[in-house]
Structure 1
Amino acid sequence: MKLSDGVEWAIHCAMLLGNIPENATLSGKALAEFHGIPESYLLKHLKQLVARGVLESVSGPRGGYRLARAPDEITLLDIVQAVDGNRPAFRCTEIRRRGPCRLDDSAYPLCCGVNRAMMRAEQAWRNALKEQTLDDISQDFFATADPRLLPLGENWLAENTRMPKS
C-alpha cells in the first residue's frame, strides 16, 4: 500500500499545530516553510483536514490553522482518511472469473479468498491507525528527538505562532 506524500505532510503539520497554544495559529506558509514542502500543495491538504474537522482555518491577519480538537482526540486514521479518502486500498476485480477455467456465477457464491484476506489486513491496519493519536506520536517525538532539535523548534514556533488579539 502506498499513501500519498500529503499524508506524511498532514501528520507532521498536525503534530506541530498540537504544540502551539490553544487559540493560536500557524499560517500555511509557515507550516510549509517549517517542513520544506511546497506551500500550494500543502494548502490543498490543509483544506481537506479542515473539511474533515481535524483542523480549523482562521481568517484575518492573525489567522492560519489550528487543531479543531485536542491532540489526544485526533487519530492517524482521521488524518489518513481526510487526505487520501476512505476507499479501500485493495480493490478486487474478480480475475478468478476470467480466463480459460472460468465458470458461471453459481461457482462463486463466496467473496474471493484473496479479497477477504486483503480486507482483514486492511481492517487491522485501519484499527492500528485508529489507536494512534497525535498526542501519542508527539510524546514519542519528544522522548526520542535529538535534544539539539527541541530548542530550534521552540524558537521557530515562538517567531511564527500567531496569537489572537486579547
Structure 2
Amino acid sequence: MKLGEGVEAAIHCAATLASVAGNSTMPGAALAESFGLSPSYLLKHLNQLTAARILESVPGPAGGYRLARAAERITLLDIVLAIEGREPAFRCGEIRRNGPVKLDASAYIKPCGVNAAMLWAESAYRAVLAETRLSDIVAEYAAEGDPRAFAASCAFVERHQRPQKSNPTKQTPARS
C-alpha cells in the first residue's frame, strides 16, 4: 500500500503545530519552509486537515494554523483519512470474472478471497493508526530523537509562531 506524500507532510505539520504555544498559530509558509515543501502544495493538505477539523485556520495578517483539538485527541488515522479519503485503498474490480472463460454469475457466489484478504489487512492497518495518537509521536520524538534536531525544531516553532489575542467566548484545548 502506498500513501501519498501528502500524508507524511500532514503528519509532520500536525506534530509541529502540537508544539505551538497556547492559542498561537503558525503560518502555512513557515510550515512549508520547515519541511522544504512548496507552499502551494502544502496549502492543499492544510486545507484538507482544516476541513476535517484537525487544524484550525485563523485568517488575517497574524493568522495561520493551529491544532483544532488537543494532540491526544488526534490519531494518525484521522490525518490519513483527511488526506487520502475514507475509501479503502484496495478496490476489487472482480477481474476473476473476466477473461476468455466467462462463467455465469452463480459461479461467483463466494466473495473474492483476494478482496477479503486485502480488506482484512487494511482493517488491521487502520486499527494501528487509530491507536496511535499525535501526542505519542511528539512525545517519542522529544524523548528519543536526536537532541539537536529536537532543539532546532523547537527553535523554528518559537521563531515562527504567532501569538493570538485571547477570545473569551472560545475555549482552546490544551496542547501537548
Which residue in the other structure is 1:80 paired with?
A: 80
Alpha-carbon separation, structure 1, partners of 2:156 and 2:122: 38
Residue deviations 1:30-86, cap 9 Å, x none? Answer: 000111111100000000000011000001122100000100100111111111111
Quote how far apart the aligned CAs of 1:121 are. Answer: 0.3
The within-5 A match list for 1:1-166 is: 1-165=1-165
CA contact (8 A) 1:75 1:134 kept: yes
Structure 1 residue aligned with 2:171: none
- RCO higher in structure (CA 8 A, sep ≥6): 2
Provide the C-alpha distance between the structure 2 equivalents of 1:52 and 1:8, rounded to a whole number of angstroms. 16
TM-fit CA distance, 1:96: 1.2
Q: Which amino acid aligns with 1:102?
A: K
Identity of matched residues, %: 55
Asked if 2 retains the 8 angstrom alpha-carbon contact of 1:75 and 1:130, the reply is yes
Counterpart AA for 2:38: P
Specify the code of the residue in structure 1 equivalent to 2:89. Answer: A
Q: How far, CA to CA, are the matches of 2:29 and 2:65 in structure 1?
A: 10
Runs of 4+ in 1 over 6 A off after TM superposition: none
CA RMSD of aligned residues (A): 1.1
User: Aligned equivalents of 2:4 and 2:99: distance in 1?
Assistant: 34
Contact 2:73/2:133, CA 8 A, preserved across alignment? yes
Amino acid at match of 1:158: E
Report if aligned partners of 1:48, 1:82 keep a CA contact under 8 Å in 2: yes
Count of residue pairs brought into register by the alignment: 166
Deviation at 1:143? 1.5
What is the TM-score normalised by the length of structure 1? 0.96
Which runs of 5 or more residues in structure 1 are unaligned? none
Contact 2:141–2:150 (CA<8 Å) still a contact in 1? no
Counterpart of 1:89 in 2: which secondary structure? coil
* Distance (Å, rounded) in 2 between the aligned partners of 1:22 and 1:55: 14
Equivalent position SS for 2:147: coil
State the alpha-carbon separation in 2 of the partners of residues 122 and 151 from structure 1. Answer: 36
Conservation of the 8 A alpha-carbon contact between 2:7 and 2:84 = yes
Cα offsets for 1:113-156 (capped at 9, x unmatched): 11001000010011111111100111111122111222222222
